[in-house]
């Protein structure tokens, strides 16, 4: 499969792929002897990268920046380009776990609150009985924990890695350690997906997802996020006036 088209949205590349194309690309990544970083980009990512040079570099150097946000589809259309569909990270984790079970790719879950990764591993194993969980660890993206975490992952023999430290920390952590991870072939920042898997957080109803209002549902359920949500109107304005 040819490399996907990257559409620059406020300077951040977003790849024009479907969910099925993403899985096909990952199949190819798993055959190459290096870590491939996947970022699930949404308007908040794009706006954060405008003022965070390190995060911007992370997204510019990632192997795949997925369009995880309906605002990106609208922005691409404004540019006269097309992003075929959203590829939500919260759905991709299930599709990847299913594929990992089929292909015998050991999976490591890193991050979230203590105990969450372990419970998420159990839930995924119940759903996909052939899934090999290489290991789980909460830890943190703090520099003093970095070497120990990398050693844990390498010793586990994990081929895929889900990192749930939240953006931008999870994505920066992956970029920082791409050269240090010896067995991992695909590393994905998954945000709150482990909380969704365990039921600690609940995704928006399907109608809200289809209408592009998942952000509004999250704000209703988690009002403390209102400051972060200010990125959405700022993103819309920047796209309109560019």
Q: Cβ contacts of residue 9 below 8 Å, gap of 6+? A: 46, 72, 75, 76, 79, 239
Q: Mind listing the pLDDT tens digit of every residue in the chain (242 residues)?
A: 678 999 999 999 999 999 999 999 999 999 999 999 999 999 999 999 999 999 999 999 999 999 998 899 999 999 999 999 999 999 999 999 999 999 999 999 999 999 999 999 999 999 999 999 999 999 999 999 999 999 999 999 999 999 999 999 999 999 999 999 999 999 999 999 999 999 877 666 665 566 565 655 565 556 655 466 567 678 777 887 77
R_g over Cα of the chain: 17
Going by C-alpha positions, the residue among 68, 92, 88 that lies closest to residue 12 is 68
Structure tokens at 222: 């988690």
Q: Hey, what domains does the chain have and what are their CATH numbers?
A: 6-198 (3.40.50.2300)
CA distance linking residue 82 with residue 78, whole number of Å: 9
Are 13 and 65 within 8 A, CB to CB? yes
Residue 16: φ, ψ to 5°: -85, 85
230/232 Cα distance (integer angstroms): 5
Q: How far apart are CA 59 and CA 182, in angstroms?
A: 22
Q: Ramachandran region of residue 222, left (φ > 0), alpha (ψ -120 to 50) or beta? A: beta
Instruction: For the sheet with 107-111, list strands across it.
Output: 64-67, 36-41, 186-189, 160-164, 107-111, 133-137
Write down the mean pLDDT value for the chain: 91
Residue whose C-alpha is closest to residue 170's, from 56, 50, 55, 89: 55
Q: Tokens 């479907």 appear where?
A: 18
């Amino acid at each position: 499969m040819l490399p996907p088209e990257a559409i620059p949205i406020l300077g951040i590349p977003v790849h024009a792929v479907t969910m099925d194309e993403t899985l096909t690309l990952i199949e190819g990544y798993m055959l190459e002897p290096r870590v491939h970083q996947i970022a699930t980009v949404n308007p908040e990512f794009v706006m954060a990268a405008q003022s965070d040079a390190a995060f911007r570099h992370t997204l510019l150097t990632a192997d795949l920046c997925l369009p995880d946000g309906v605002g990106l589809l609208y922005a691409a259309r404004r540019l006269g380009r097309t992003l075929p569909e959203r590829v939500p990270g919260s759905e991709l984790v299930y599709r990847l776990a299913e594929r990992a079970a089929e292909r015998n790719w050991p999976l490591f879950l890193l991050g979230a609150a203590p105990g969450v990764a372990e419970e998420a591993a159990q839930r995924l194993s119940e759903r996909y009985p052939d899934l090999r969980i290489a290991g789980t660890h909460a830890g943190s993206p703090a520099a003093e924990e970095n070497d120990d975490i990398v050693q844990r992952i390498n010793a586990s023999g994990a081929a895929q890695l889900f990192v749930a430290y939240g953006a931008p920390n999870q994505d920066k952590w992956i970029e920082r350690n791409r050269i240090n991870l010896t067995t991992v072939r695909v590393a994905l920042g998954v945000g709150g997906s482990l909380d969704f898997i365990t039921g600690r957080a609940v995704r928006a109803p399907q109608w809200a997802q289809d209408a592009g209002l998942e952000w509004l549902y999250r704000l209703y359920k988690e009002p403390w996020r209102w400051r972060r949500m200010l990125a959405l109107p700022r993103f819309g304005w920047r796209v309109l006036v560019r």
